[in-house]
Chains A and B, each alone.
Chain A
Amino acid sequence: MATALLDRRLVFVTGKGGVGKTSIAAAIGQLAASRGKRTLLCEVDAKGDLAGAFETGPTEFREREIAPGLWAMSMSTEASLKEYLSLQLKLPLLSRIGPLARTFDFVANAAPGVKEILTVGKLAYEVRERHYDLVVVDAPASGHIVGQLAAPQAIQNLVQVGKVRDQTGWMLDILSDPAQTGVVIVATPEEMPVNETLDLSVRLAEETSVDLAAVVVNRVLPELFTRGEEAVFKGLRSPDGAAALGAALGTPVEPLLDGAELAVKMRRTRAEHLGDLRAGLPAGVELLYVPELFQRTHGVRATGQIAESLGAELGY
């Protein structure tokens, strides 16, 4: 039996761009906090979307309590490096060494994996030190997450000795333990997001040791009609039906009927992609459904509604 999503310690939320990754990460964080877990939400891409999900000011590297039991931060590899240096090497006052930090940022760019490990390292550190019950990461999109999660292993292979190599050991222990760490892929029931989700689930298994905890299907459209009702709707679309409805309402009814038709077709196309998703995922991966929100798609109100849906899906 897999560890329940909220009982893990470190959850990476990823997905194709545009599927609502940040909203889902924010909602998972809010749900966990509302269930009494000390939760840290970390935005890795630092676009400021996470702050928008809670109508709070910009987040920084130094975490801030934005709601009872819920802390938020944004990742900065430079700040992470500074913290690491002062914690591990007892090298305070980096500023005195002048352009060193900047230079180092450059090395981080040149040497593959250094930036990634500074990110993963900080997150794993928060888990190891038990500062929080749960760390939820608004992680890079599906194209970049594997590089991030595979970084400790890659570094371990590349770097034979030195501090960094020593550090990768415990990070890998945390990342590889499905009781502690999991990835949540967010998808919408559309072609590309579903394909990327399936590709990513394969790559996660092949190139990383991190467990796929769940797939969140976001923006699921409501089912308008049952099969019987669909026949009635078809009747309404016939010339007689449309004329009768038009007479009863006293207006042209094409927009109304076309609108419903569009909704039905969209739902049907999405249902096909959803079928592909279900069929393509490894057995046992939990699927959580979040409905399309028509009124508000972003902001604190939407975050609350998504958290509620996720809570219901998780059986709370």
Chain B
Amino acid sequence: MAAKRRNTSESSLEQLLAAKEIIICCGSGGVGKTTTAAAAAAMAAAHLGGKVLVITVDPAKRLANALGLERFGNVETQVPPSLFTDAGVEPRGELWAAMLDTKQSWDELVRSHAPDAATRDAILANPLYENITGRFVQSHDYIAMERLYEIHASGRYDLIVVDTPPTRNAIDFLEAPERMADFFSSRLLRWLTVPARSRVFTMASKPFYTVADRILGSQFLQDIAEFFLLFQTMYDGFVERARAVTRTLSDARTAFVVVSTLEASPAREADYFIEALRERKFALGAVVLNKVLPGWFRDREATRAAKQLCSDAAPLSEAVATAAPDVGEPAQLARVLGEVGESFLNFQVVAKREAEQRSELAAQADVVAIVPYADHDITDLAGLLELGESLWR
């Protein structure tokens, strides 16, 4: 197992999770973000106690099964405590899991903010509504943050670990609440909603309508207007909510965990993200580096030996076959030795590249957790906790 880098301070992910109420895991796609979030939450439930919730976006079926759930739903579900006992851990607390269902979350939001039943039904039945909530990419980011806020404010959990949705740009979801607030208070929205009231053109809005009419058609504009007019009834609730969500992100009880592998482009994205957090004065709690190759791939002696295996496979195989005749006949042995050497050197190049990347990323945070490359998939809670162990201290 790879040696863990320790900073001079005694901080660890364990401490971070003990201190914070909200942990937001972010990073680019394919770096093991969801698994990291689940493992961290499982460790917190097992060892720190309290009620811990992990909100994931799109868990692998295998991960859902590992948590003893058929599938994740929008409703929070408790992971059966027996799974912990099966994994040999007596949990101090409870682990709960939920998945983000954008459409359902939007519906709930509308239900709670609509001023009356008629408006609520009109919004839910509007054809644009479905399109906007389903396809409008930012709506996904916003709803994730909104849901987080709602659950946190409810006081039902001691710790909430969030796996963020895959975004085109990692920082999109940081800005989503703000953008949503801007959107609902914008002049454009006022323009758009004018026609439904009384279509009086101002000097400022006329050219806009002229072009918009020609491109989109006035019927479509009318549809948009109607929709936003309905939506505006929820304006105050929404804007207040979006601001509250933004406040939650910068609250001292919230920390971000940036997850990355040591491959070039996820690492670059992680760098970019760390920078974005810094600019917004959000707290970077830890950097988790996943799928890290073992350090012995860079061992000098082993490297020399690997090269020798490649160049002297034949004489070496003779020597081995003489000393240990059961292993195999020399010709086949020579091929195996050659492959062993070649494979070692191949992975070594990757390990070296990773080491370089790692020292750059590790310098960014007080807590750096290194998770070694797993040669198997995680299929149960025991696997998740095993991964958690390497994250933890």
Contact = CB atoms under 8 A, between A and B. Distances in A.
Interface of A: 16-19, 45, 47, 49, 85, 89, 91, 97, 100, 103-104, 106-107, 109-114, 116, 140-141, 143-144, 147, 154, 158-165, 188, 190-193, 195, 222, 224-225, 228-229, 231-233, 235-236, 238, 240-241, 243-245, 247-249, 251-260, 262-263, 265-266, 269, 294-295, 297-298
Interface in B175-212: 183, 186, 188-189, 191-192, 207-208, 211-212
A147 B261 CA distance: 28
Given A192-B30, A248-B323, A259-B302, 4 more contacts: A112-B128, A161-B219, A255-B344, A262-B375
Interface of B: 28-31, 60-62, 127-128, 131-132, 135-138, 166, 168-169, 183, 186, 188-189, 191-192, 207-208, 211-220, 223-224, 228, 261, 263-266, 294, 296-297, 299, 301-302, 304-306, 308-309, 316, 319-320, 323-324, 326-328, 332-333, 335-337, 339-341, 343-344, 346-347, 349-350, 373, 375-377
A23 to B, nearest CB: 9
A232 B336 contact: yes
A253 B373 CA distance: 20
Contact of B131 (A154, A253, A262): A154
B163 to A, nearest CB: 12
Given A110-B228, A231-B328, A298-B264, A260 B213 contact: no
A103 B216 CA distance: 14
Given A110-B228, A141-B29, A265-B376, A228 B332 contact: yes
A46 to B, nearest CB: 9
Nearest to B186: A106
B346 to A, nearest CB: 4
B211 to A, nearest CB: 7
Nearest to A254: B296
Given A162-B213, A224-B343, A17 B296 contact: no
* Residues of B contacting A: mostly: helix
A259 B349 CA distance: 13
A315 B320 CA distance: 42
A164 B29 CA distance: 34
A164 B264 contact: no
B339 A224 contact: yes
Contacts of B211: 85, 89, 91, 97, 100, 104
Contacts of B223: 158
Contacts of B128: 111-112, 158
Contacts of B299: 255
B217 A263 contact: no
B3 to A, nearest CB: 14
Contacts of B373: 262, 266
B137 A144 contact: yes
Given A18-B28, A192-B30, A298 B219 contact: no
A243 B189 CA distance: 77
A243 to B, nearest CB: 7
B364 to A, nearest CB: 20
Given A17-B166, A158-B220, A162-B216, A233 B336 contact: yes
A165 to B, nearest CB: 6
Given A18-B265, A107-B188, A161 B328 contact: no
List the 5 closest pairs (A to B, CB-CB), nearest first: A17-B29, A162-B217, A18-B30, A235-B327, A232-B328
20 contacts: A16-B30, A97-B207, A106-B186, A107-B224, A110-B183, A159-B219, A162-B216, A163-B216, A190-B30, A192-B60, A232-B336, A236-B320, A236-B340, A238-B327, A251-B304, A252-B301, A255-B296, A257-B340, A259-B302, A266-B375
Nearest to B61: A195
Point out which of A17, A241, A253 has the most chain B C-beta atoms below 10 A from its C-beta: A17
A192 B309 CA distance: 36
A162 B218 contact: yes
B272 to A, nearest CB: 10
A265 B246 CA distance: 45
Contacts of A159: 216-217, 219-220
Contact of A256 (B265, B319, B340): B340
A106 to B, nearest CB: 5
Nearest to A150: B135
Contacts of A235: 324, 326-328
Contacts of B261: 18
A111 B347 contact: no
Contact of B335 (A229, A249, A269): A229
A112 B132 contact: yes
A105 to B, nearest CB: 10
A193 B61 contact: no
